[in-house]
Structure 1
Amino acid sequence: MTRSRGSVEHVVATYLDHLAVERGTSKNTLDGYARDLRRYVEFLQRNGITDPAAVEPAHVAEFGAVLREGDDEHRPLAASSAARALVAVRGLHKFASADGITTHDPARDVHPPAPARRLPKALPVDDVLSLLATPAPDGERPLRDRALLELLYSTGARISEAVGLDVDDIDTVERTVLLDGKGGRQRLVPIGRPALDALDAYLVRARPVLAKSGRGTAAVFLNARGGRLSRQSAWHVLKTAAERAGLSATVSPHTLRHSFATHLIEGGADVRVVQELLGHASVSTTQVYTLVTVTTLREVYATAHPRALR
């Protein structure tokens, strides 16, 4: 037989006080939890429940369904908001159980829905080619910028990996680049001939000029002071090139990396090969690019097949 100290409202007030005083939870988070738990209390009361010990797993699961589908009192919540509300409910019941207010935790096995996987933004091949053709062919920084953009798209490197490259990391004979990825993991990635040509032009004609202002760093990509190019500066290079190319799509620091992966998958590359090229620890991370391809196939089917919409 379960026992309780007071009503559900009392437990909620005690829990919020615990978060504020003992856990130091921010005001914004507390306000959000208070709103979510107030809705939860109303839901329980409509079901005739005022004692926290009377709450069962089915009640918590039903509340989750109401959050997603709405009811007579409330509109349905977005997936992220519904998940946040269930996190608040789980925290409430875990606290009540741990503090001895109840002898069971009805929310322990009720989990928030996994958030929808956001599809990476990738540019069409023609847009990538326009982007790569944009930097002017002459001058130290234009040559550097062209080499940087070509390398990002040719290897799928993160911007941090590209600016972290040293000259010895590029093997022009084997046509490979050694990238330092997350968690200290290194990977060897092939690099295409256009990117190698752009790198060669930069290393021969521009880098020595930029290096004169520095202190002899081994970095491939240098700034105007001869030091290693920063991630912020590399991101600015990409953004400026996108503006010059007149691209309407939003370009982020990962745009060329996402485009690299998507174009490989669309070209028939095995997802596990793309995983290795991207340096993903798990193939599940890479599989999101297969969703992009399926989405594209659906769009083509919907517009091209005479009975697709029937």
Structure 2
Amino acid sequence: MQQIPGGITVPKTPELLRDFEQFKQQLKKRAGLDLDQYKFEQTYRRIYTMMERAGYRKFTDYLIYLASDESRLRNFIDRLAINVSELFRNPEQFQILKTEVLPELLRGTSQLKLWSAGSSYGAEAYSLAILLHELSPNRSHQILGTDIDQEVLERARRGVFSESDMRNVPAEYKQRYFRAVQENGRTIYEADPVLKRYLKFERHNLLSDPYPKGFHLIACRNVVIYFSDEAKERIFREFYSALTPGGYLFVGNTERIFTYAQIGFENPSAFFYKKPAQEVQRWRNAS
């Protein structure tokens, strides 16, 4: 047995493991969600905890409960996503983005197209919007934020953040781009509409949906850490195809793409993987 936060012990008996396999197969048939794409240990613990809190002891019984209500099943799928919201998370990485990566991209085009994949509440997308507005205001940049969780997407569209979300925001940005308001006895920060004009938020499943194309930068940070190695490889290859030549993939603080060269990326600095710019001519010839 394993102990997890909250005092819930997770048993792994042969019966439960067989039951979990049936749960996975039936969930894939009913909802199209393939849990084999996720790392087993983390997924098992997470779903067992949700099942226990709902009052069930068998995974297949829990699935019957979930499938009896479409909104309940959708909420379960949404809750499997790990939602972290913090503007300018790992500030040193955003400094590289501001001083090196984005200026390089802006030298090649006046209008950038960015994608925050697994955007959660939108903190990363709004951080990107701030940097773009600082570097090249009043241009028609586009930032797409996607997530599997509809609830967090609604909050992202509102552009509201807590005190803890704002802890890494430089003081001048905080003053320039956010308005502090009181809500239910606590201070929240509303993003300025000037940022929202760059942003669009949509639901997207990295494991099953078609990938949009033509991005100069894709940020996918701390999103795929629970996915299997095979799923990660497929996602990174999709990102490569979604980038324009010379475009960058921006990953998380603890993430490395060990097969970046086989995929086709260059790795000019930590956390940034570049689609070679020399593909520009081939790409133009093909268009």
- TM-score (ref. length: structure 2): 0.25
Larger fraction in helix: 1
* Largest Rg, 1 or 2: 1
Give the TM-score normalised by structure 1.
0.23
